[in-house]
Amino acid sequence: MSLMELKNVNMIFPSGKKENVIGAVVDANLTIDEGEIIAVIGESGSGKTTLGKVIVGVHKPTSGQILYKGKDVTKLTGANYKDYRLGVQMVHQDSFAALNPNKTIFQSLSIPLYEHKIVKGSKDAAQMLMEYLVEVGLTPPEQFLEKYPHQLSGGQRQRILLARALSMKPKLIVADEPVSMVDVSLRISLLDLMTRMNQKYKISFIYITHDLGTARYIASHGRIVVMYLGRQVEIGQIQETIENPKHPYTYALVSAVPEADPDRRSNFADSLPLKSLDMPSLLNLPTGCKFNPRCPNADKLCEMEEPRLLEYSEEDLKEKGKVKCHHTKEILRARSKSSFMD
């Protein structure tokens, strides 16, 4: 049994205009196993953060089903609901906004401990929090407990958020672009910290990002979910997917990653393989495949019929994956032939 499973989950928001709605997440299906790291990647507006908020329960899905340890989260009560609320935590992108500026770190982090009766008093809370601060590399811990958020650096605040999530003893952490607002020199240390948490406590991670480099680093043995306009367009083992992308959008994302060393450049096209750089509006989506206005391989079928996310496998592939494209096999054959000719 998977730790969590999403079945045909939709998150639809009203647009404010008559009869118009915004499909932030459309027909999402995903299984999350214990101790697994899954990277969710896509452009801004692709639905990554909304998907994360649906998983942690911030948004109640418009339709579909979310199972936690095999049980529908909308029907959980009592101890089972508490197990879900504590077991699934979120680390936000903006660490300053995620902490109350008028409270010390001890006050902010101790509130959930008191609320869920994890500790009996301030002495127990301080002792537990100091242990977790050491765990996330903030030493000496007593110096950080009485500080306010503005007295800490961005990297330190992100570690505070990780410590707060850890204090709930979670089974799954949704990390929403946790290193995007941190100095480049500190990103690897934060990614390594999350990897250690994953290995030591068997915590599963949903790592949301627009950066393929950090996704590949933290989920080197995990899976990747590529999203476009609220839809999952490709799911697969991350190394296989980046080295051999099946969907034209994934191919474009990989092609867009700069490589300084010419000897290490990929064999992808020099120019970005897109007909247009403009993403369609969520209020005026194209018919058929939502990627077809930008896809160089689109034809009449793509303009008329939206493809389904189906399993894709070939004998030479190490891992099976899923892709949402009418012409995956033809595109890969043409790409392989072009590379061979080059």
Contact 176, 194 (CB under 8 A): no
Contact 186, 214 (CB under 8 A): no
Poorest-confidence range of 20-34, 233-247, 253-267? 253-267
- Across the chain, mean pLDDT equals 89
Instruction: Report the C-alpha gap between 245 and 264 in whole angstroms.
Output: 18
- pLDDT tens column, 176-226: 999 887 888 788 999 999 999 999 999 999 999 999 999 999 999 999 999
Band (pLDDT 50/70/90 cuts) for residue 342 is: very low
Contact 70, 135 (CB under 8 A): no
Task: Return phi, psi of residue 68, to 5°.
Answer: -120, 115
Provide CB contacts within 8 A for 315, sequence distance 6+: none
Encoded amino acid at 172, one letter: L
pLDDT surpasses 60 at 267: no
The tokens for 256 are 């867009």
The per-residue DSSP string of 300-325 comes to: HHHHH-PPP-EEE--TT-SS-EEE--
- Which pLDDT belongs to residue 212? 92
Sequence spans of domains, the chain:
4-102+148-263
Q: Is the domain 4-102+148-263 a CATH 3.90.480.10 member?
A: no
Residue range 232-254: mean pLDDT, rounded: 93
The tokens for 316 are 């030479």
pLDDT surpasses 50 at 320: yes
Going along 92-220, which residue ranges are E strands?
172-176, 204-209
- pLDDT tens column, 268-306: 445 667 888 888 888 889 999 999 999 999 999 999 999
